[in-house]
Amino acid sequence: MKKDSIHRLLLKMFSTVILICSLYSCTDDFTEYNTDKTKMMAVGPKELAGLFSRTQYEGINWLTTDNMSRMSSTVALHLCGYTACGIYNQEALIMNYGWHNTGFNRIYTSAIPPLNSILDVSRNGVNDAAYNVALIWKVWLMHRVTDIWGPVPYTAAGNGQEEIPYESQKDVYYKMFDDLTNATNTLKSELQKNPSLNVFGVGDLIYNGDVSKWLKFANTLRLRLAIRISNIDPVKAQKEAEAAVANPLMEVNNDDALMAMNQLSSGGNGMPRMESFYQDIMSASMESLMKGYNDPRIDEYWSPVAYNSVIDAAGYPEVLKAQVGGYHGMANGFEQIQVNYFKSYSKYGPRFKDGKQLVTPVNIINSAETWFLKAEGAWRGWNMGGTAQSFYEKGIEISIKQWKGATFSSSTIASYINSTALPVAPEDYPYYHPAMTNIPVKFSGNKEEQYEQILTQKWLALFPISFEAWAEYRRTRLPKIYPKKFSANALVNPSLGQIITRLPYTTDEKNTQPAQIARATEMLGGLDLETTPLWWDKNSN
């Protein structure tokens, strides 16, 4: 090879290298390189449905699957008196902070972030329907949180800052009212323009995107919140309640907010999952009422006691063996020795049997509740557009139809409504309580009895929405469920009427923002304990 050609080769090599260098010597593509192809970099209109499914599902996840036992079965279900809990520690009121921590985190870290994404994508008139339906869902999520812990972050929830300010429960309530007011006003005018307005479509696991249903949901929720603060802030309560009833409400079972599980591939309704574990057992209070009233819903809520081999064990009480085949409730607050006795009491009804996880929808708000809320408003003398009795009776009718079907015998319903039968003494070995209370279903002439009737029937109608039933029990101490027989928690003496009124702040929050927890405790107005009453709870404890 000649020298010339070598030089030419060299020149070529150099220019190639320089070319390659100049091609690469630029950072234009860096953002693309640094992009994880397995992830989405942004969300837009077409992700709204998926985001909404996620916030909905994660929002009820503590009532389902893995957290069922943590937050629902072991907290609200037995604290509100629906069930006895099959775990001694929980039934004996020993706090399981780890579980509460997980439940609290689930809302803030799993349900709130996709919700905030919807708000971010749709705010400022970009998509009013999406924005406001999401806002309504936020109020639903957060009202449960504040009703469990008290002062919590509402405005700043999920904003990603290093410190998230807690707000007093009163502030949280006022902000929820504001959000519901704005949302209902906007949706109302949107619906006037387009009565069949739909948002999120099948991504909305509750109403399939029907905005008119969400408007009703928001008004019933607003009414629920108004009633909740009726003892502590009656003026605001009345104003909000009257505004709510001037708008469409969830009145018939077609409006029921039920989250569909039948299109999920995993997870689903947690009640059937827990059913097989014998952790949720019909309570003695339930037995006293439902048996006494001859309640037609009993076979929907509960099952007859099934045979279980533990009863064959030596020394198993004969009286409990005899319960097989009947409906039986267990006393709350049992001692450790009785754990196995569980197996001779009633478990959930047929739709909550194990295996129905992806069949039975999750109850979010039952329409019957609207009528009991209106009944209480009317009972308080607020303008609810009718009498307390008419609302009370309508509520019972709607509730029975919810479980027994729209075609259920109206005469049976009427005879239930007009029944003067009283609750009975449950056969709750070994305590054998007397009847839980002495009020019939038939609406009383006595104002005080009316109140107890409204709350007692609402309690039956709220089933299985335990967190709402627990909140209302704390506000009203009604129905007069049996106090726990035993408490291993030094702060709670059930015989003095003491109950768990909230959950203490979680360890993760205490570790990551102690200053805010100190502020929150100050706003709570008492120690950060499970026995400190919340703002709207005026009962002594």
Partner 1 sequence: MEKKSVIQAFRGRNKLDGVLLKMNLFAVFVFAGTLVVSAINYSGGTRTEPNSKSAEMDQPNRREISGTVRDSKNQPLPGVALIVKGTTIGTTTDSEGRFRLSVPVNAQTLYFTFVGMKSQEIPIAGNTVFNVTMEETTFGVDEVVVTALGIERSKKSLTYATQQVNVEILSSVRDVSLGNALAGKVAGVSITASTGTSGVSGDPRIIIRGDRSINGNNQPLIVVDGIPYSSSGGGLSSINPDDVQSMNVLKGPAASALYGSSANNGVIVITTKKGKSGEARVEVNSVTTFDLPYLYPDLQNTYAQGLNGIFLPNTDVYSWGPKMTGQTVVDWTGKETKLEPQPDNVRDFFRTGHNLTNSFSYSAGTEKSTTYFSYSNTTAQGVLADNKMQRHNFNLRLTAELIKNLNLDFKTTWFRQLVKDKPTTGDDLFSPMHQLIRMPRSLRIADVSDYSYYTAAGEYKQRVWIPNSTNVINPYWSMYGYENPSTSNNVNALLTVKYNFTGWLSLQLRGGMTAGNSDSEIKRYWDTQYVNSGKGGYETGFSKSQILNGDALLVFDKDITKDFHVNFNAGAEIRDSRGRSINSATGELSAENKFALNYGVTLTTTDAESRIQKQSVYGMAQLGFRNYLFLDATARNDWSSTLPAPYDYFYPSIGLTAVVSDMVTLPKVLSYVKLRGSYAEVGNDAGFAQIFQTYSRASNGPAGMVYPAGTKVPVNLIPEKTKSWEAGGQIHFLDNRLGIDFTYYKSNTYNQLITITSPPTSGFGSGRINCGNIENRGIEFMIFAIPVKRQDFNWNIDFNFAMNDNKVIELSKTLNKYQISSPNLSIGETWAIVGKPFGEIFTKGFVRNDAGQVIVDALGMPKVDSKANLYLGNFNYDWRSGITNTMQYKNWYLSFLIDLNWGGVRQSATEAMMMACGTSTESLEGRETGIVFDGVQEIVDTQGNKTYTPNTVNISAQAYAQLVGGRISFGAGEPYNRKADNSRLRELSFGYSIPLKSNIIKSLRISAIGRNLFYIYNGCKWFDPDVTYDVDRNGQGAESAFLPGSRTLGFNIRMTL
| Residues 115-174 close enough to bind partner 1 by CB under 8 A | 116-117, 152-153, 156-164, 166
Build a one-symbol-per-residue string for 225-264: x at contacts with partner 1 by CB under 8 A, - elsewhere: --------------------------------------xx
Between 232 and 264, whose beta carbon lies closer to partner 1?
A: 264
- Shortest distance in whole angstroms from residue 214 CB to partner 1: 16
Q: Which stretch binds partner 1 (CB under 8 A): 15-23, 222-230, 235-243, 493-501?
A: 15-23
- Reported for 86-92, long-range contacts at CB under 8 A and 24+ positions apart, including other chains, are 86/277, 86/278, 86/279, 86/280, 86/281, 86/339, 86/342, 87/279, 88/334, 88/335, 88/336, 88/339, 89/488, 91/332, 91/333, 91/334, 91/484, 92/333, 92/335, 92/336, 92/486, 92/487, 92/488, 92/489
Between 59 and 423, whose beta carbon lies closer to partner 1?
A: 59
Q: Which stretch binds partner 1 (CB under 8 A): 52-60, 180-188, 219-227, 429-437?
A: 52-60
CB proximity list for 533: less than 8 A, separation 6 or greater: 474, 501, 502, 526, 539, 540, 541
Between 112 and 139, whose beta carbon lies closer to partner 1?
A: 112
Q: Which stretch binds partner 1 (CB under 8 A): 5-13, 367-375, 380-388, 428-436?
A: 5-13
What's the sign of the alpha-carbon dihedral 64, 67, 69, 73?
negative
Binding to partner 1 by residue 3, rule CB under 8 A? yes
- Shortest distance in whole angstroms from residue 165 CB to partner 1: 9
Among 57, 293, 342, 470, binds partner 1 (CB under 8 A): 57
Binding to partner 1 by residue 98, rule CB under 8 A? no
Binding to partner 1 by residue 50, rule CB under 8 A? yes
Among 516, 521, 531, 532, binds partner 1 (CB under 8 A): 516
Q: How would you classify residue 93: left for phi > 0, otherwise alpha for psi between -120 and 50, otherwise beta?
A: left
The two beta strands, 280-282 and 83-85, are antiparallel
How far apart, in whole angstroms, are the C-alpha atoms of residue 380 and residue 223? Answer: 13
How far apart, in whole angstroms, are the C-alpha atoms of residue 449 and residue 265? Answer: 47
Binding to partner 1 by residue 17, rule CB under 8 A? yes
Retrieve residue 305's tokens.
């006691």
Binding to partner 1 by residue 42, rule CB under 8 A? yes
- Shortest distance in whole angstroms from residue 202 CB to partner 1: 4
The burial of 359, by beta-carbon neighbours within 10 Å (0-12 exposed, 13-18 middle, 19 or more buried), is given as middle
Among 4, 27, 125, 420, binds partner 1 (CB under 8 A): 27
Q: With contact defined as beta carbons under 8 Å apart, do 341 and 320 qualify?
A: yes
- Shortest distance in whole angstroms from residue 27 CB to partner 1: 5
Q: Which stretch binds partner 1 (CB under 8 A): 8-16, 382-390, 420-428, 455-463?
A: 8-16
Binding to partner 1 by residue 49, rule CB under 8 A? yes
Binding to partner 1 by residue 37, rule CB under 8 A? yes
CB proximity list for 232: less than 8 A, separation 6 or greater: 535, 536, 538
Retrieve residue 175's tokens.
């902000």
Among 15, 19, 35, 276, binds partner 1 (CB under 8 A): 35
- Shortest distance in whole angstroms from residue 515 CB to partner 1: 9
- Shortest distance in whole angstroms from residue 31 CB to partner 1: 8
Among 45, 98, 201, 350, binds partner 1 (CB under 8 A): 201
Q: Which stretch binds partner 1 (CB under 8 A): 46-54, 66-74, 429-437, 438-446?
A: 46-54
Smallest CA-to-CA distance from 107 within 75, 153, 76, 151 is with 153
The burial of 304, by beta-carbon neighbours within 10 Å (0-12 exposed, 13-18 middle, 19 or more buried), is given as middle
How far apart, in whole angstroms, are the C-alpha atoms of residue 453 and residue 441? Answer: 7
Build a one-symbol-per-residue string for 384-403: x at contacts with partner 1 by CB under 8 A, - elsewhere: --------------------
How far apart, in whole angstroms, are the C-alpha atoms of residue 177 and residue 62? Answer: 25
The 3-state DSSP class for residue 167 equals strand
Binding to partner 1 by residue 109, rule CB under 8 A? yes
How far apart, in whole angstroms, are the C-alpha atoms of residue 461 and residue 33? Answer: 57
